[in-house]
A and B are shown apart, each in its own frame.
Chain A
């Protein structure tokens, strides 16, 4: 358990320190409750003072989350949370900045900003609540909705091909890419913890059920009773094993993964692919980001975690170096740059 030195008496923070006085107004049964709960559970364990934590969101159901966490918070405008977070982190690097967003917010209206915050590697945590639907505007299809989906705005089925958030993130050079599921509390909190500990932009997609407009979107593989057989939990340095009996695995043959069963057709543990999240080449992580049920188990956990200099560190360094090389800025010198003359 961690402490924050807010005053002379070291105060131990607990989950309730992160519960704000605002009434939580999500639909009963919404997956967002679990994400909020895991977030509030994680906060006191980070070892940072509460006042140094900031949650920034855009627009959508998920983006209401900052109101419910008793830290500094900014509920901004549609799609733009990454921009506000970038400006805050680049000017106040000591703060822990969390971006809360949804599939519409991050990938539709904010698609451009998501690409750039990731490629710049600003040291932030981005939690994308993906329910594959527009909830707040009451049920239109989103950029992650499956092709042909019938909604209020697509009564004949969508003709827009969906985006895969993790593929987008990896394509944008994200240094930390992970996935979790709202109903898997333990996995979710540990994934968020990993995201926090990563230095750089962390992108976490959370499959989040919208029980009003898109109920059961992930049930095929995420429901408790089938989860073990239909998802694969990635662990760095470990062979890729899944299944209730821990007997299934992934083998990499040539250009793609194949699902195999250990003990059948001479397959042993040694044939399974060992997950290496630190691999510089993003192609394996990208391949993982494309794996979908029922052809494959759905990967959860950390797909990619590589170290690169962060944008905010580089900005700090440039300023330090400029001051070292040119001396701290002096306004009088600045005013007199170039040719001057005196009028008597």
Chain B
């Protein structure tokens, strides 16, 4: 993927090679500050004008034993001079801070890849903890890689010997040393990180100075040592003009729901119970009291959704957010929201596995739960963002549908989107369309379960409105009056009305657009976070001359009206999913098109080459 072009022969010192894309993976013990180093590298690259994409890979244990295999924490960042859609398949560079980090990550480094190791940590004890029988730095097993052995701990300690900090504090700065070295290797300035250190440790001058010193020491080590013959330059990407910031999916989701509340002129109420990987949305929203955001850290998932429903009954935007097992607990209350036909948005940042599964790993396997995981015929609208920055737009879209159709909307993000980041083209708030909650006011015409003829939405009459007093609840409703009703014909009618209401949303969402050719040998259809790999794999296949197109679903229920037509225009359809074929089953059963599945359930996203290989197999 990376192409090397010599930029300058006159450059003094080491050669500078120009690359169009680089992927670095920082890996170390969970206490080594790898997430921090990766985040800082990302920020600096974004500010430099590269396109970026990141993939943090965090162990489930808060602090597994130091140096052990389960304790390894990784952060992969890809930066590029052109548009990129994924954090890269394989790293070009692996920074391994200890033997365990090397052991768990080396399998992903391609032959010829750069390996930077902290040789100080390759002690007998650490090698044993990492299940190495012999020292890989000595036994020739790393022969396929360009290995750079750097005594990071020693050099860092030497640089900070006059800092006045304790040995433990000094050792904590070694991630900055490693980061400084990478900054040198990829020609990045230090000032963004220096500023960040000042802000972060401003109150503790000693620590701030030590971190900056370690960062510079790493950079200078790269500059002066003769170990590295080359360093690299990745030019700016040609992104759409405008103002950018780096954003994770969870941050974008939080900004999206706050924006929705402003566009609707209603208070945002977020009921949530902490759960990985959705907690960051709670953390973000809790900071925004100045926007009038009311956050409620509930006693459990059920209370979280119940409180959100209560807030919606009162005319606020009742929002709840969770991850897989939390969604299971919220099911009964979502059914209640279906019955009382109030706006509600339920965020599910999907994670891997049934039950507790693998909390820090990603998966797309809650789709059928979102679709059917309730008793009775209980339809809800479902939307799914496709990239970290798309989370902003889809969060607003979820609220648009919820408010207009008075329905719960499930928003299926996932761990990969939620924790990953990319540049976000900051929108102009004034150009975003307003949303009208359209509360009922008129006692002369109000009936609790009368319906808008077009949308079939019932009126939203909030407490405090004179003469619209009425009662709602989970028992079956009588058409129009909303009174409790067990009549057979009425139940039949209400079930159909609730289903029809969700179906009608299809009139109100964009048609599916195919990218590539209007028809051809193969369509690769995806939803959610597979967007990046599908787009890149299809681009590569097309560059090789294959007649392949891609299309991506952002609305999962109802599906776009033209989906059936789009499917029929291609000889074959491939659907990659991070599950065993849930969306494929839904689309096949509805359109009777024999879609081919590409499925992966390892807790990790697809690589581009996995998707590309399948495309080649089917279309070549």
How far, in angstroms, from A94 to B468 measured CA to CA in the complex? 17
> Is A331's beta carbon under 8 Å from chain B?
yes
Q: Give the residues from 112 to 154 in chain B that come closer than 8 angstroms, CB to CB, to chain A.
A: none
How far, in angstroms, from A342 to B299 measured CA to CA in the complex? 43
Give the residues in chain A near B333, CB-CB below 8 Å.
77, 80
**Contacting residue for A90 out of B43, B47, B244, B269, CB 8 A:** B269
How far, in angstroms, from A183 to B402 measured CA to CA in the complex? 46
How far, in angstroms, from A95 to B464 measured CA to CA in the complex? 7
Do residues A339 and B192 form an inter-chain contact, with CB atoms below 8 A? yes
Give the residues in chain A near B308, CB-CB below 8 Å.
87
Tell me what chain B mostly uses at the interface: helix, strand, loop, or mixed: mixed
How far, in angstroms, from A33 to B290 measured CA to CA in the complex? 46
| Interface range, A side | 35 or more
**Segment among A47-55, A218-226, A232-240 that sits at the interface with chain B:** A47-55
Give the residues in chain A near B291, CB-CB below 8 Å.
328-329, 334
Using A73-B471, A85-B310 as known contacts, say yes or no to A51 and B465 having CB atoms under 8 A apart: yes
> Is A36's beta carbon under 8 Å from chain B?
no
How far, in angstroms, from A288 to B7 measured CA to CA in the complex? 86
Give the residues in chain A near B592, CB-CB below 8 Å.
none
Do residues A342 and B296 form an inter-chain contact, with CB atoms below 8 A? no
> Is A156's beta carbon under 8 Å from chain B?
no
Give the residues in chain B near A332, CB-CB below 8 Å.
429
Give the residues in chain A near B239, CB-CB below 8 Å.
343
> Is B36's beta carbon under 8 Å from chain A?
no
How far, in angstroms, from A332 to B311 measured CA to CA in the complex? 26
Nearest chain B CB to A79's CB is how many angstroms away? 8
> Is A133's beta carbon under 8 Å from chain B?
no
Do residues B43 and A80 form an inter-chain contact, with CB atoms below 8 A? no
Do residues A331 and B242 form an inter-chain contact, with CB atoms below 8 A? no
> Is A150's beta carbon under 8 Å from chain B?
no
Q: Give the residues from 89 to 139 in chain A that come closer than 8 angstroms, CB to CB, to chain B.
A: 89-92, 94-95, 112-113, 115-116
Using A95-B463, A318-B289 as known contacts, say yes or no to A67 and B484 having CB atoms under 8 A apart: yes
Nearest chain B CB to A58's CB is how many angstroms away? 10
How far, in angstroms, from A58 to B192 measured CA to CA in the complex? 54
> Is B255's beta carbon under 8 Å from chain A?
yes
Using A91-B316, A113-B303, A116-B303 as known contacts, say yes or no to A340 and B245 having CB atoms under 8 A apart: yes
Using A75-B475, A339-B192 as known contacts, say yes or no to A51 and B245 having CB atoms under 8 A apart: no
How far, in angstroms, from A179 to B194 measured CA to CA in the complex? 64
Q: Give the residues from 300 to 320 in chain B that come closer than 8 angstroms, CB to CB, to chain A.
A: 300, 302-316, 318
Do residues B258 and A331 form an inter-chain contact, with CB atoms below 8 A? yes
Fill in one digit per residue for B449-470: 1 if any A CB lies within 8 Å of its CB, else 0.
Answer: 0000000000000111111111
Using A20-B471, A76-B306 as known contacts, say yes or no to A338 and B243 having CB atoms under 8 A apart: no
Q: Which residues of B contact A (CB under 8 A)?
A: 43, 46-49, 192, 236, 239-246, 255, 258-259, 262, 267, 269, 271, 288-292, 294, 296, 298-300, 302-316, 318, 332-333, 336, 340, 426-427, 429, 462-475, 483-484
Nearest 10 pairs of A and B residues by beta carbon: A83-B306, A87-B310, A75-B473, A87-B307, A329-B291, A322-B289, A73-B471, A84-B310, A88-B310, A92-B314
Q: Which residues of A contact B (CB under 8 A)?
A: 6-7, 20, 22, 49-54, 56, 66-67, 70-77, 80, 82-92, 94-95, 112-113, 115-116, 315, 318-319, 321-323, 326-329, 331-332, 334-344
Q: Could you write out 14 A-B pairs with CB less than 8 Å apart? A: A72-B469, A77-B333, A83-B304, A83-B305, A84-B306, A92-B315, A95-B314, A322-B290, A329-B290, A335-B245, A340-B243, A341-B243, A342-B241, A342-B242
Given contacts A341-B245, A343-B49, 12 further A-B contacts (CB under 8 A): A7-B466, A51-B467, A52-B463, A71-B469, A84-B307, A86-B307, A87-B271, A87-B314, A113-B299, A328-B291, A331-B259, A339-B192
